[in-house]
Structure 1
Amino acid sequence: MSRKLIFTLLILLSAKGFSQYSFKGQIADKASNNIIYLSIIEDYRKLDRLSMEQILKKTTTDSLGNFNFEGDNLIDENRIYRIHLDNCPETASNSEHFFGSCENSKSILFIANNNDTITFPTSFSNETLCEIISTNKQSTVLLEIDVLKEQMAFDFNDFRSDANRKLNSKKWFSTFQNFGKSIDEPLAELYIFNFLSDKGNETHNYYQKDITSTDYYTGLGERLMSKYPNATFTELYKTEIAIDQLMANNKTSQNSIWKWLLSSLLTLSIFLNIFLILRNKILAKNMLNNALEKLTEQEQNIAQEILKNKTNKEIASDMFISVSTVKTHINNLYKKLNVNSREEIKQRFQ
């Protein structure tokens, strides 16, 4: 019996060691070299925008419009990820091109982990990045929440009176919160919380009242601590909710609260940025080290020559090899380092 138990444990450990993800899809514009980004979102207040610190990988579509991200470098726990299609025209400004301001740029948010296989097919109406097929049952819940948002917007726009707004606020806060708890995924509840508490939404005024009349927000904090105790977004939520509850319960001392709020947010922002910078440096260093291990000695030498801004002809002369051999080594460098130009090689080594 003990031998069987040991054998079972070895199989389980082996399976865990070989876990990896695969995110595949197809875009409606079946053309090659469309750029696709994969990002992770640790800060739920950045769900609606892109930033360089979130991007994990990029790839390009093949001649049929297919793209694929795979590997074993994601977190084993669920996180919110974004697939972002950058199909902006070359005439777009750098900011529009990167942040997806042009109309040809599309994205989708989903929940996943390092063990998931996910497909993003084109829809029946040939729409891109609007459907998900996943081995993770939580991957599609953000799309379900978006459907509820559209239904809520319809209700609010039907009659724009104060009475209707109050009734609908009460109804939809309850609807979203009950739906969030039924999913049993705190990440989905954070997605809902980000929407309902957003200062730019009509829901924010009701949120300020709701936070003092229900224990839902405290419960969400407990669920986050139970499932994601060490995650950045858990600490961020705990800090934010504590501040909001304090403000709601102490309106008479509003000025002092605002000073404390700004100071807390500033401190939190500094620590969060330091954490993200350090984490990204570590990730970048690990990725570079893994890539360098794949390089031959000759390829490493050529990479060093590229860093010196030498041409192929100069490299060939210095290393006593042909120009065609230099080109072959550089093509291998591109593949192994997952880059497309000499400048990207320089960035990797810097």
Structure 2
Amino acid sequence: MSGTYQEQIIQKVYPDSTGYFVFTENNLPTKNRIYRIHTDNCSEEEATIHFNGICLNSQEILFIAKNDDKISLPFTKEEEAFCEIISTNERSNTFLKVDSLIENMRYAFSSYRSEANRKVNSIKWFKTLQDFGEQQDESLTELYIYAFLSNKSNNLYTYYLQDLKQNTYYDELLERLQEQYPNSPYTKQYETELAADKFSIAIKKENTSYWSWVIIFFLIISITLNILLFLKLKTKNSDSTALEEKLTQQEKKILDLILQNKTNKEIASLLFLSVSTIKTHINNLYKKIEVDNREELKALYKNK
């Protein structure tokens, strides 16, 4: 649907001065197929340019047809081409109807900016387009809609993947294609793309599941360590409280002054004792509290 290649060209014709052209060959299949009429005013030397989709002097239209159809593409009053299809095949203009719905959808999306409104609109328009395609009783029309919804460059692609996970529509479309067009390139390509998208979803789900378990694992470890640390501190504080009861009144005063970051000399001055006496009291205090130095003592009482 998105490109034209030399080997796909059935016939070339040249229009007259009014833009009119016609071909009447009988080399199309008897069942419906998707076709493209592509017009340009490039020279023969530039013939390959428009096949790459970069020629500004070209126009094209996609439609459904079979070998006994009669189709005309009249100009509009504004001299615009490919805005209307008149055909003996009622399916021929369904792509134009889909294009009209898509334009309405784009207009609706431009009217809403919030993510919530976009989500509601996605649900609404996916269902609207899918229902319309199914009502046509022509799976090629549904395939045209699918090509738009599943386009990776489309803003709706993320929602398409979500819809694919929970909506049975896509599998049902495959069944309709297999019934109407068994062994056709359309059916095989759709089946391949559908399987690839489902595989992509499964990989993402597996990766998400893996990282979720990793996060949960580290969260459990973190909580466990915090609980153990809390219990350890609680136990240590309880033990220090019990040990503190062994201190004399003088040693308790010295403990309070140490926790206030007072030096031995300052403590001696405040208690009217000699520095050597203070050192003796501090050594006795260390033994009773079961620490070896001031740093351990302060750390013990820091969280108390």
Provide TM-score, normalisation by structure 2: 0.64
CA separation of 1:203/1:97 partners in 2, compared to 1, >3 Å: closer, same or farther? closer
For 2:181, the equivalent position in structure 1 comes to 228
Question: Partner of 2:191: helix, strand, or coil?
Answer: helix
1:82 paired with 2:36, answer: yes
Aligned 1:1-350 pairs, distance under 5 A: 47-88=1-42, 90=43, 95-99=48-52, 101-253=54-206
Give, in whole Å, the separation in 2 of the partners of 1:254 and 1:93.
Answer: 48
Q: CA deviation at 1:247?
A: 2.9
**Does the 8 Å CA contact 1:79/1:113 hold for their aligned counterparts?**
yes
SS for the counterpart of 1:110 is: strand
On the 8 A contact 1:86/1:100 being kept in 2, the answer is no
- Which residue is equivalent to 1:281? none
Cα separation, 2, equivalents of 1:96 and 1:182 = 38
State the shift of 1:136 in Å.
Answer: 0.2
Aligned to 2:281: none
Work out the CA distance in 1 between the residues paired with 2:26 and 2:207. 48
Question: How far has the Cα of 1:160 moved from its partner?
Answer: 2.5
Please state which structure has a larger fraction of its residues in strand.
1
- Mapped to 1, the partners of 2:46 and 2:110 lie a distance apart of 35
Change (3 A) 1:157 1:92: farther
Structure 1 residue 252: Cα displacement: 4.2
In the alignment, residue 94 of structure 2 is paired with which amino acid?
A: V
1:43-62 deviations in whole A, cap 9, x for unaligned?
A: xxxx1222223211101012
Q: Give the Cα–Cα distance (whole angstroms) in 2 for the partners of residues 75 and 254 of structure 1.
A: 46
Other structure's SS at 2:23 match: strand
Amino acid at match of 2:24: E
Q: Given that residues 85 and 93 in structure 2 are in contact (C-alpha distance below 8 angstroms), is that contact kept between their aligned partners in structure 1?
A: yes
> What corresponds to 1:291 in structure 2?
none
- Cα deviation code 1:182-232 (max 9, x no counterpart): 000000100000000100001100010000111100100000000000201
Distance in 1 separating the partners of 2:136 and 2:4: 26
The amino acid across from 2:29 in the alignment is I
Higher relative contact order, chain-length normalized (CA < 8 Å, sep 6+) = 1
Against the structure 1 CA distance between its residues 213 and 164, is the aligned structure 2 distance closer, same or farther, given a 3 Å change threshold?
same
Unaligned runs of 5+ in 1: 1-46, 256-350
Query: Aligned partner of 1:55: which letter?
Result: I
Normalising by structure 1, report the TM-score. Answer: 0.56
Contact 2:3–2:51 under 8 Å retained in 1:
no
Q: CA RMSD in A?
A: 2.1
1:148 deviation in Å? Answer: 0.7
* Residue aligned with 2:28, SS: coil
Deviations 1:284-323 (A, max 9, x none): xxxxxxxxxxxxxxxxxxxxxxxxxxxxxxxxxxxxxxxx
> 1:70 Cα shift?
1.2
Give ranges in structure 2 of 5+ residues lacking alignment. 209-304
| Residues 104-154 of structure 1: per-residue CA shift (max 9 Å, x gap) | 311111100011010111112211122110000000000000001111111
